């Protein structure tokens, strides 16, 4: 996958990675895709370069000598920097991922990854010029609570970190959780928050031995299922796309399958009375 060709100068990428062979490989992939690439061999050198030069995105390893990636993130956060940073790690420890969210890492990419995944992730981060700030209310691995702005870019970002927390689960469960979360968070941000970055959605993820539960609460007025004529959940048995006619009449984008899809991906799906809060549960046994 090639990045969209930029009309101006190529985007500048800084690789901060202590493993020379990995650094060389990343450099080759990124330069081959048209990026302007610089390297640093540890966190300290990376921070020095970031102090002196501007980069569009940083690829940051976690465990490095002298100064590790999390310390670099903390220092950037302390300085009030809006630097976009992609964290690269094989370390799926919840503490690592949650600290990365707290320190405002843009995205997380799990090692090992393909060149396509790498370029896709870099392009995704570059496509979002202003990184939405995520507030971490609780960063316990079994109780994560976040406050996120109503911006579509935030969905992939939160999803990449929260799904990293479930790396020990079977792929099918992780996918179901990820897809359900994606649909319901997007619904909350689009319908509840109207894509207004000043409004926030509460996200909580609780994990016990036997289940994972997500709660998403949006700032909207809620809705009624029987009035959701623009959603596939209300289609008659024989009409799978009836709701799309309603969406077209209302000038809405094609879609409306989210709740229907989610119902089949999770074990429990519950809305509160106003229906601006939703909980979904996946049982693990």
What residues make contact with another protein under the rule CB under 8 A? Answer: 1, 4, 120, 123-124, 127, 152, 175, 179, 182-183, 186, 232, 235, 240-241, 244, 247, 253-258, 260-261, 264
Query: What's the CA gap between 211 and 40, in Å, rounded?
Result: 42
Question: What minimum distance in Å lies between the beta carbon of 230 and another protein?
Answer: 11
Question: What minimum distance in Å lies between the beta carbon of 275 and another protein?
Answer: 17
Report the residue number, 264 or 283, with the smaller CB distance to another protein.
Answer: 264
Question: What minimum distance in Å lies between the beta carbon of 247 and another protein?
Answer: 8
Residues 6+ apart with CB under 8 A from 7: none
Report the residue number, 209 or 253, with the smaller CB distance to another protein.
Answer: 253
Total count of residues recorded for the chain: 285
Report the residue number, 220 or 258, with the smaller CB distance to another protein.
Answer: 258
Count CB atoms within 10 A of the CB of residue 129.
10
Residues 6+ apart with CB under 8 A from 114: none
3-state secondary structure of 178: helix
Query: What's the CA gap between 15 and 56, in Å, rounded?
Result: 11
Count CB atoms within 10 A of the CB of residue 261.
15
Report the residue number, 23 or 230, with the smaller CB distance to another protein.
Answer: 230
CB contact at 8 A, 24 and 143: no
Report the residue number, 24 or 114, with the smaller CB distance to another protein.
Answer: 114
Question: What minimum distance in Å lies between the beta carbon of 98 and another protein?
Answer: 25
Question: What minimum distance in Å lies between the beta carbon of 248 and another protein?
Answer: 9
């Amino acid at each position: 996958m090639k990045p969209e060709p930029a009309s101006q100068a190529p985007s500048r990428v800084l690789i901060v990675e202590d493993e020379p062979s990995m650094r060389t490989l990343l450099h080759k992939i990124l330069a081959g895709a048209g990026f302007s690439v610089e390297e640093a061999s540890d966190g300290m050198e990376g921070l020095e370069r970031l102090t002196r030069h501007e980069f569009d995105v940083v690829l940051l390893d976690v465990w490095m000598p002298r100064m590790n990636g999390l310390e670099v993130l903390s220092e950037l956060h302390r300085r009030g920097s809006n630097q976009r940073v992609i964290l690269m790690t094989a370390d799926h420890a919840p503490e690592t991922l949650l600290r990365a969210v707290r320190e405002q890492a843009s995205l997380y990419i799990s090692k090992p990854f393909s060149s396509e995944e790498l370029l896709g992730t870099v392009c995704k981060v570059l496509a979002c010029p202003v990184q939405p700030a995520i507030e971490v209310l609780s960063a316990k691995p079994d109780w994560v609570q976040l406050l996120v702005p109503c911006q579509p870019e935030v969905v992939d970002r939160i999803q990449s970190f929260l799904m990293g927390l479930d790396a020990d689960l079977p792929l099918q469960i992780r996918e179901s959780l990820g897809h359900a979360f994606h649909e319901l968070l997007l619904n909350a941000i689009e319908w509840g928050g109207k894509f207004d970055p000043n409004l926030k959605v509460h996200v909580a993820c609780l994990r016990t031995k036997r289940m994972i539960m997500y709660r998403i609460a949006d700032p909207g007025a809620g809705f009624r299922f029987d009035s959701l004529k623009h959603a596939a959940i209300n289609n008659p048995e024989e009409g799978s796309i009836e709701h799309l006619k309603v969406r077209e009449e209302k000038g809405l984008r094609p879609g409306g399958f989210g709740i229907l899809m989610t119902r089949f991906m999770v074990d429990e799906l519950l809305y509160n009375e106003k229906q601006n809060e939703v909980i979904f549960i996946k049982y693990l046994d």
